[in-house]
Structure formats: structure tokens, C-alpha cells
Chains A and B, each alone.
Chain A
Amino acid sequence: MKEQLPSPEFNSGQYERPNQNWICGKAAEGKPCRIGSDAKGRCRATCECQPALELKEGENKGRYRCTRTADYGGSCGIGPRPDGTCSRPIPKCVPVRGLHAKRKLFTISVVAFTAGLLLVGLGGPFRSRFITPGKLSAQHATETFARLAGTTGDGCAACHRYAHSGPGGLLTAALAAVPGPFQFRALATAGPPAMTSLDQNCQHCHVGHSFHQPNVVREHSCSACHEEHRGPGPMAAPTDANCLSCHANASALQASYEKGKTLPPEEFDYRPAQGRVLFKTPRPAHGYTKVFRSFATDHPEFQVLADRLKDPDTLKFNHALHLTSPNIQPLPGRKLECRNCHKSDAAGVLHLKITYEEHCKSCHSLQFDAHNPDLRIPHGNADHVRDFLRSLPEQYADYGARVKGLTGRRELDDFVQQQMRQLGEQIASGEELERRVFFSDARTGPVGKVAGLGALGPSLFPGCAYCHQVAAAEQGAPAVVRPVIADRWLVRGGFDHSKHFKVDCVRCHDAVHSRETSDVLLPAKATCVECHSPQGGVASNCSECHSYHTPRKETAVAAQ
């Protein structure tokens, strides 16, 4: 390129020595002395030449001659001093470091600074705040926790035993870790890790962690799922990956299955009822060891529905009729709604039990006398019913006195006799009455109005058998099978109705079409997946519904 600048001229007779650490201080001015600095950075400049003594023949003392080389100017005009020293001393300079040497120095100082920083950080008063990789969760961050855990200071040692050791202690602890720093194979081994010393420390407060299911084949450490140092606030719930480390692992589940086969089924029956009636499902063949990846995709169907189990309850109830019949009007013009009977419990999670007194009686009162509809047979105990029916006059008398307000004796007797006579017109005998009350279900017996009431108002009472399963007994009152209404169907997963308050009951529970008591109205998993899936947008993590930690059998039994 002709536009390029030509190289400046310089003395190319000397090598350039970038490998030297020290450069003559005068090099910047363009006149470095030829002696140069020594290796330690001290200027060695003395004089420009070393005078030579010339002794000609016949002379005693001789003369000193300048020996400066031609490169540096040749012989100087003045010449050496008479005593042999050069008359042109070179003023000493301050040697400077070369760029490489400067870099070396800078590197050393940076390293020293770093070492200092490490010492101050690790050895100083801010040690814990320096080392911690993130803030502790709210529960573990307090002084109370530290005190309860029996440690001094900031509580690090509650979990990390060697937290307050010096460098030697830390190194020993590092080498003593299991798996150790150099056990690469152990570090690479897959699977949920076993309990380490760190996890043992969790157990000082959190007792009884390890029980998940009786057929679990390997330990699962605390820290595998519960990550601390992830910031203040409550600790994050375990992620799906934690659960799937076993539940997506065919070999682990296969081993669990094998183990489960060897255990008696009662082992698995450990859930506390907590005052509820649990719908007990028999343990399935695969023992809950199906491999799956996520809720939305291949999480197994709820076993109740998968096995097509039926509600064995003996109480005959037709949801469809109750919800859709125009004849059932709790208020004028309104149909019966779910919430008219199913009321939330205090926490809102589940619903209160269905009882006759609260939910059925208002419509299904046991009136038997059309003329006295508010005289009702007591509900709940067959013996009481029989006794009632066999003491009708007294009942009427009591009724007349209390309800009708008849006070005179003769009035009362007249009343009683009148009622008894009217009853006798309807029903032949007391036995017939008793039989009708117990066994008539208005579908098998004569379709008659026992009480004979009109269209609206309390419904007819054909007989106990209309709702219950009644069996004749040889002695005593007929046996009415006590209904068992299960009020917890989804036993292995948690469900909180209060979180679903925005969702209409019929959206999930198909009660409108259910005519049989044996219908199980638990919605299918697909109904949940409509929302609880990546497509649906609502969280579908395992920990939304499940917990790893199930109580120990002993404590479970005690709670029951």
C-alpha cells in the first residue's frame, strides 16, 4: 500500500530484549546506557569507558587513553583523568520494569488481594454471610431455631456440623464427605441419594421422615427434595422431578412391587380417618407401582374409577330426581341445589356429613297419619319405631296435649279415640301398620297414601324400605341396615374444595345424571386435567395433591 507510513528509523544494530525484566530508565528519552540495569533493578551505570593505560617505551607512568567504542561516540575529546578514571560519568537512572515484569507484579498483587479477601471472608466476622449461597427459609433463619438446635451464633452448625471449623477442619470434613470429592463413580451413580450426615441433622427436629410406603425399597434423603438456601420465606415444595426419580423409574418401582407382594395388605392400611368415613379401596394388583411421567399425561386413573368400584351404601338415593324434579322446591320456584345438603366443613376442604336430621328430615319426615301430619315416627332406631307404633294412643295423647293444646282429660281422650278410629279406617290393624311402616317402599306395596298428603309439602312416607334396606327379624324389630355414607372418596390425594369455590359443583360431579346410590360421583382424572395441566394452566405438580411423608403406622393407629 503506497498510503502506508514508512517505518520509523531506529538503531537496528541492537537486539530488542522484551525478555528482560528491567529496562534502563533513560530508554524513554532515547539514550539507554549500554551497561543496563542488573537483574534486581539497580542501575549499574558508572562511566562511559574504561580507560586503558598506555605505557610507551621509556615511560614510567604512562598515559590513560579513552576506550569508548565507535558505536557510542568514539574517543572522547577530553580523555580520562590523570588517575585513570573516566571523566564522563554516566548519571544513574531509575530502572523501570518492562511490561511483562509489570504484569507479573500486578498478578502477584491481585493474587495476594484475593487471598486476603478469602481470609477475611472465611475467617472474619462475616463468615456465615459470606459463605451462604442464599438466604435461609423463614423457619430456619431465626435465632430461636439456632437456640433450639443447640448451637451458638447463627445456627449454621445445626445442619452443617463443620460450619464453624477452621481451614483444617473444613478440609478434613471435605475429604470425609460421603461420597467423597474423588469418588467420581459414586457421585455419578443415579438415583435418589441415601441419607447423609447433613440429612441426619434434619432428623434432630423433624422426626419420622422416612416412612413413605411400606414397600419402598430405598431411602430418600431430606435434602434430595427439600432445598434450603433458596431465599427467604417458606421452603419451596419439592418438584416433580424429585417424585419422578422413583415414580418414573421402572426398576425402582418393580423392586417395590416385588417387596409389596411379600407384605400383608394390612400394612398398607395406615391412613388415619380423622373423623371421616374413608371409602376403602382394595389394594390393586400392581400395588401403585405404575411408572408414569406427569399428572396430565400418564398418571393412573383414580383407582375408584379405574376399578369401577361402586358405592356399597344401602341408603337408596337418587341424585337426579332430587336435583331436577320440579316437584322438589326448597323455596317457591327454586329447584334443589347441591349446597342445600352438602355444606362445607369449617376449613372448607371437605363437606359436613350427611345426616337424616339435618338434610333429609325436612322433606322426608316420617308422618304416617294424613290427618296429623306433624305427628312423626322417630327416625333412627327400629326398636324405637316399633315401640312408637305399639304405643299409639299414648303418642296421640302426648301429641294432643303438647301440640293441639288440649288440656282437659275428656277432651284429650276424645281426641285420642278419634284419631285411633280414623287410623283404623285407613289401616286394618296395628300389625299391618307396623308392616307397612317398615317394609313398604311404595313400589312394592299397595300404592296408597299412608299419610295421604298433597302434592307439595313433605313427601310421602311409604315406609322405611323406601330408603333403607330392611330385613325381617325373628325376634324384635326388623333389622334396618345402617347406611354408611362415605365422605372421603379420594383417599390418597388431598383435595381442597375451598380452592375450587369458583367451580360449579356439577362441573366436576355428575350428580344430575346419577340415579343409583351405587354411582360413584368422584370426577375422573380427566376432569381434573382439564385445568390441572400445562394446557389448562393450573399447577399440576405432584405436591399439589400428594405428600411424600405419610405418618408411621404406629402414630396413625393412635390417631385413629
Chain B
Amino acid sequence: MPAPLPTYDRPQRWDAAFDPQVTDAEVSRLLSVPPFSGMRPENFPTRLSLRDILKHDTRIQRYRRGEIVVRAGDHGTSAFLVMSGQVRAVLGPELPPSLLGRREPTRKGIFRVIAQLWANPKEPESFKTSQLKQDARIGARQNQGEEVKIFLQDVPRILDEHKTALLEPGEFFGETAALSRMPRTTSLFAESEEAELLEIRWQGLRDLMKYDEALRKHIDEIYRERALSSALHEIPMFRHLSDEALQQVMARTEFGTYGDYDWSGDYKRLVQSAAGGQRRMEPVIAAEGDYPNGVILIKAGFARVSQKFGNGDRTLNYLGAGQVYGFQEIVHNWRRPNAVVPLQYTLRVIGYTHVIVIPTAVMETVVLPRVPKKDLPRLLSPAEDQETTRPIDAGAKIGADMLEFLTENRFFNGTATMVINLDRCTRCDDCVRACAAAHDDNPRFLRHGPISDRLMVANACMHCVDPVCMIGCPTGAIHRDAFGGQVVINPATCIGCKACFNNCPYDAIRMVEIRDQTGAFLVDKEMKPILKATKCDLCVEQLGGPACQRACPHGALVRINLNDLDAFANWLKR
């Protein structure tokens, strides 16, 4: 008798509070302070009251002088409001990477690369003291019950050498990054002896924006000013627009953030429950059969494109940053106003999605007349319109099962996903050995992972487009390499707090107990072994790219960018 399907309640808005210890008294205090004091609670619905939002989606963070609040390049999902004290934003030149906990990117020369043959340490996870040295200009402190905070030792010097801006109480920062999941553009640190910041996570910010006009306008302005224009400039179809036309478009463009839950904890549990069911729980952004209201441009996160087939939905594709939805239908309607078509596919959120919407009217009047005919998509044929006449694999680049597998497990996030073809893999472990040889004889991935049909996605860092692991690192140890974009952990500054380890939904990060050259475990003052987070770094220090891919004798292993289904489909067809 098969086991009954485990049920799982739809994740509630506040199953996991941001900070469970926020008290009602603190919330009352917040409500008495601008901008919350100016907000009208009656504008908020009952199930999403202002009080509830403040209680569950915010927390107070206290910083001492020199402590770094956010680092440039970090991924964060929170905005900050200065409650008291002063905060400095470093405008230019940027703080040196070592102050931010990063490591200068160094590629080993050919001799050092070859020397790995004999010079690799004999003990696993062993480090020389020189490898663990941190920049002397920063220090770490941890107050009771709080996270570790990194502080700059010499604040006056920083202020001398870098141009900074001062933020006073009542000022917001970090909203764009929180809403659009872009990396932080500036580093900020506390200047006054004690600074108190309110950290609001993005869901709270979004809901506050929805129901408070002033906040919405404020953030709208900032967003348009800082993020939107550069975003629009990157879109190919807007290349032909004059500046004035672009201004018109910008003025009427809307943006939105969708999704009710975070990547890691909740969705992991979701995936383990009945497959297919959760699709109905994902919020719909635009539905098949509806009138196309505007072109939807995905800026961050992912959305699922599906089509009705039989009694169910068939996932055709997923869209990531930079891809559009609804464009073909709008162009078709613009060219054939007498034979309008509705939206052909349904667009659903996967986890978290941030989009820009350009209304149809703007498209028809301002944009489309200026786009050259050859750049326009082709017209839709009537057959494509009818759901009863569609062939089963119309528009699909890879099989439905595989697509479902990728989408359910959110593997499309990866730009360097390790995919292993189990029909060719002889389990020889050459890949693991190559990885180890390139990392001081320590492998940095596990040759195991979810399997679908003949494909295994191994537990190796996928170097995601949207790296959730980077959210919340207190020391900046995990960062994106400036050159190649690989997500890298700097072992010298990693304090082993397991934030990234817990966040990563793909089991790509593993904590290791480090040793010295003789093999004895390195311990802290309390005799607890020192942990470091480790993961694949795409062999950023080696020559020639990831060693695993190169080492597989049977062409079974590949580091593939799942953002581009074409390359994946080609590899599958081998």
C-alpha cells in the first residue's frame, strides 16, 4: 500500500518572523517615529495590518562605531532605516576588498599550478597561518546574543581617504537592492558611537509600499532614478528610442515584486511534498487567455511559463533576468488590430520575482513604431492559438519531466550547475580527484544529488544568478569575484556562522573543521574546532576553468548555465 501523500499547508505570510523577539512595546515605539508615524493604519487590510508588518518583518539592529552595515557587492534582502546615530556611505573610491572581507583575485602562475602535483598539503583541510591572516584594519566583535559584526579599526583614516555621504536618522537606504535583488552598490558603516537601524525585509517593504502612498512615491522616485533608467537602456528593443521617448516610457513603466516566501527553508519543505501540487500555490503574474496589459520584463528572480494542456498545465520554460513575456502577443495585436489574440502562456512566480511592466499603450504609441520590422517577432498563427490543436511538445526545448525537475528544484538559478549524465558516468571519481587536486587536496563538491531520469545535479555550487547564500554573511567572506562572477568564500574572514550553509537550497556548501599543517584541529579559546564554510569556486585561482569538467573521461559531467536552455538541450542531445 503506498504511503499517503504528505500534506503541507500553504506557507503563511508569517510562518517565520524576521526576528521572533520583537516585542509589542518596540513596535509601539516604531509607530511613533516617522515615517511610520505618518502612515494611516486604516489603509492597511486586517490580515496585513501595519502593526503586524512591523512586528514580523522588521528588526532593530544596533551598531557601534566603525561596524559595517552593508558591503558593496553583497546581496541583501533588507532595507534599512536610520533610527538614531549617523551612518556613512562610501561613495568613492570603493573600500579595498580586504576591508570588506574579500580576497584579491589571484590566479596562480603556471609553475605554481604544476607545483600542486607535489606541494599540496598532506592533511585534509589544513591551512597555513598565512592563509588565515585577515586585514589588520578590520576587527570582529560579537555582543551577547547578537551576530558577529566586523568593524573598521581606523574610521578617521577611511573618512580621509574616501569620499563619503552622511545619513541621518529618518533616512532609508538599501531599498532598491532589497526589492530588486541587485547587489548593494555602496558600503555603509556606522560613524557615531552607537547607531540604531531598523532593518526591514523586502516583503515588509513591499507591503508597506502597497498601502502607504508616501512611501510608495518615495521609493518609486528612488527606483526610477537609480535603477530603472539603466535597466531600460539594457533592453534591445529600446535601443532605437530617442532620449525623449525613453523618458516617456520611463515615466509610465511600473515595477513589481512577487512571491510570498523566501528561497531556502520554506520551499525546500515544499519540494519534498507532493510534486505538481505547489504549482497551483504559486501566484500568477499573468494568465493565459487574458488581455495583454503590458510587456513584462523579468529583472530578477524567475518566473515559470506554462500552457494549458489536457487537464493540466505544462511548463514550457522559465524566464530569468532579462527575458520578456507578452511581447509577441502585443506586437501581433498592434499589427492586426482586427484579429487580437490573448496571452498565450501563463506566467507564474517561482519563489521570488521582480519585474518591470511596460503598459501596452506605451508600447503601441511610443516604442513599436520605432522598432525596425526585422527585429519584431513573427505573427502568431491561428493554430497556435487553439489549445486543442497544440502538439504535445510544441515549443519545448527539453522534455517535460526534465523541465519540471529543473523548475521544482530551482536549478535554473545556476550559471554553472554540475550536471552528470549517469548513463555515461562510470563513477570513477576523476572529477572529485581533480577538484581536490586543485584545492589543496580537498574536494569541494559531493558527487551526489537529486536525480531525474538519467541526469544527476550534484551538490556543487551552481554559482547562481540569484545567490541566496550571499544573503546575511556577517563578514563579507562570501562574495562574487569581480572578474568572472563566481561566488567565492574567503576562508580567512569566514567565521563559520553557517548563515550561507543554512541558506543554500542545493546543499552546495559544507562546513569543515580546519586543521594546521600537522593535522591537528585548530580550536578557538573554548576548545571548539574552528569551522569554515567551503564550496566549489569554479577553480577561480586555477588556469583553464573548472577542473572537474575537464577531468571527466566520458563527457558525462558538465558545468552548464541553466539560464540558457539551448545549450542544455544541445548537451542533452549528445
Interface residue ranges, A against B (CB under 8 Å): 1, 4, 7, 12-20, 34-36, 38-39, 44, 49-52, 67, 69
A18 touches B429 (CB 8 A): yes
B432 touches A19 (CB 8 A): yes
Pick from B437, B446, B451: contact of A7, CB under 8 Å: B451
Complex: A36 Cα to B124 Cα, angstroms: 9
List A contacts of B453 (CB < 8 A): 1
List B contacts of A19 (CB < 8 A): 432-433, 436-437, 441, 443
List A contacts of B443 (CB < 8 A): 15-19
Pick from B510, B519, B529: contact of A15, CB under 8 Å: B510
B490-515 interface (Cβ within 8 A of A) = 507, 510-513
Instruction: List the 3 closest A-B pairs by CB distance, nearest first.
Output: A52-B527, A39-B122, A19-B436
Is residue B523 within 8 Å, beta carbon to beta carbon, of the partner chain? yes
List A contacts of B441 (CB < 8 A): 19
How far is the CB of A190 from the nearest CB of chain B, in Å?
42
Is residue B135 within 8 Å, beta carbon to beta carbon, of the partner chain? no
Known contacts A20-B124, A34-B513, A38-B519; decide if A12 and B527 are in contact (CB<8 Å).
Answer: no
Is residue B447 within 8 Å, beta carbon to beta carbon, of the partner chain? yes
26 A-B residue contacts at CB 8 Å? A7-B451, A12-B446, A14-B510, A15-B443, A15-B445, A16-B429, A16-B432, A16-B443, A16-B446, A17-B436, A17-B442, A18-B432, A18-B443, A19-B441, A34-B513, A35-B521, A36-B124, A36-B519, A39-B122, A49-B527, A50-B523, A51-B527, A67-B523, A67-B526, A69-B513, A69-B528
How far is the CB of A373 from the nearest CB of chain B, in Å?
107
A16 touches B447 (CB 8 A): yes
Pick from A12, A17, A34, A35: contact of B448, CB under 8 Å: A12
Highest count of chain A CB atoms <10 Å: which of B441, B443, B526, B527: B527
B425-460 interface (Cβ within 8 A of A) = 429, 432-433, 436-437, 441-448, 451, 453, 459
How far is the CB of A11 from the nearest CB of chain B, in Å?
10
List A contacts of B122 (CB < 8 A): 38-39
Q: Mark B521-540, 1 if CB is under 8 A from A, else 0.
A: 10100111100000000000
Please report whether the interface of chain A is mostly helix, strand, loop or mixed according to DSSP: loop
Complex: A20 Cα to B507 Cα, angstroms: 23
Pick from B123, B432, B442, B447: contact of A39, CB under 8 Å: B123
List A contacts of B513 (CB < 8 A): 34, 69
Number of A-B contacts (CB under 8 A): 66
B432 touches A12 (CB 8 A): no
List A contacts of B445 (CB < 8 A): 15
A18 touches B446 (CB 8 A): no
Please report whether the interface of chain B is mostly helix, strand, loop or mixed according to DSSP: loop
A15 touches B442 (CB 8 A): yes
B512 touches A15 (CB 8 A): yes
Determine the residue in chain A with the shortest Cβ distance to B433. Answer: A19
How far is the CB of A344 from the nearest CB of chain B, in Å?
76
A12 touches B459 (CB 8 A): yes
Complex: A511 Cα to B433 Cα, angstroms: 90
Determine the residue in chain A with the shortest Cβ distance to B120. Answer: A19
Complex: A219 Cα to B524 Cα, angstroms: 88
How far is the CB of B562 from the nearest CB of chain A, in Å?
21
Complex: A34 Cα to B513 Cα, angstroms: 9
Complex: A436 Cα to B88 Cα, angstroms: 157
How far is the CB of A496 from the nearest CB of chain B, in Å?
66
Contacts A39-B122, A44-B519, A52-B526 aside, 8 further interface pairs with beta carbons under 8 A come to A1-B453, A7-B448, A18-B432, A35-B521, A39-B123, A50-B523, A52-B527, A69-B513
Highest count of chain A CB atoms <10 Å: which of B123, B441, B443: B443
How far is the CB of A308 from the nearest CB of chain B, in Å?
75
Determine the residue in chain A with the shortest Cβ distance to B437. Answer: A19
How far is the CB of A367 from the nearest CB of chain B, in Å?
105
B: interface residue count bin = 20 to 34
List B contacts of A12 (CB < 8 A): 446, 448, 459, 507
Complex: A12 Cα to B450 Cα, angstroms: 12
A13 touches B124 (CB 8 A): no
Complex: A17 Cα to B437 Cα, angstroms: 11
A67 touches B124 (CB 8 A): no
Determine the residue in chain A with the shortest Cβ distance to B435. Answer: A19
List A contacts of B528 (CB < 8 A): 52, 67, 69
Complex: A18 Cα to B124 Cα, angstroms: 12
Complex: A18 Cα to B428 Cα, angstroms: 9
How far is the CB of B286 from the nearest CB of chain A, in Å?
34
Known contacts A52-B527, A69-B528, A69-B529; decide if A15 and B446 are in contact (CB<8 Å).
Answer: yes
Complex: A123 Cα to B432 Cα, angstroms: 45
Complex: A44 Cα to B123 Cα, angstroms: 12
Highest count of chain A CB atoms <10 Å: which of B444, B523, B529: B529
Complex: A236 Cα to B443 Cα, angstroms: 64
Complex: A39 Cα to B512 Cα, angstroms: 19
Complex: A36 Cα to B123 Cα, angstroms: 10
Determine the residue in chain A with the shortest Cβ distance to B445. Answer: A15
Q: Mark B86-122, 1 if CB is under 8 A from A, else 0.
A: 0000000000000000000000000000000000001
List A contacts of B529 (CB < 8 A): 69
Determine the residue in chain B with the shortest Cβ distance to A18. Answer: B429
Determine the residue in chain A with the shortest Cβ distance to B534. Answer: A15
List B contacts of A69 (CB < 8 A): 513, 528-529
Complex: A1 Cα to B451 Cα, angstroms: 10
List A contacts of B512 (CB < 8 A): 15
Complex: A1 Cα to B510 Cα, angstroms: 30
List B contacts of A16 (CB < 8 A): 429, 432, 443, 446-448
Complex: A222 Cα to B521 Cα, angstroms: 76
Complex: A18 Cα to B443 Cα, angstroms: 9
List B contacts of A52 (CB < 8 A): 526-528
Highest count of chain B CB atoms <10 Å: which of A1, A19, A38, A51: A19
Pick from A15, A17, A50: contact of B527, CB under 8 Å: A50
Determine the residue in chain B with the shortest Cβ distance to A16. Answer: B446
List A contacts of B442 (CB < 8 A): 15, 17
Determine the residue in chain A with the shortest Cβ distance to B431. Answer: A18
How far is the CB of A140 from the nearest CB of chain B, in Å?
51
B527 touches A13 (CB 8 A): no
List A contacts of B123 (CB < 8 A): 38-39
Complex: A50 Cα to B459 Cα, angstroms: 32
List A contacts of B451 (CB < 8 A): 4, 7
How far is the CB of A9 from the nearest CB of chain B, in Å?
11
Known contacts A7-B451, A50-B523, A67-B528; decide if A13 and B436 are in contact (CB<8 Å).
Answer: no
How far is the CB of B123 from the nearest CB of chain A, in Å?
7
Complex: A7 Cα to B432 Cα, angstroms: 19
List B contacts of A35 (CB < 8 A): 519, 521
Complex: A49 Cα to B527 Cα, angstroms: 8
Q: Mark B383-418, 1 if CB is under 8 A from A, else 0.
A: 000000000000000000000000000000000000
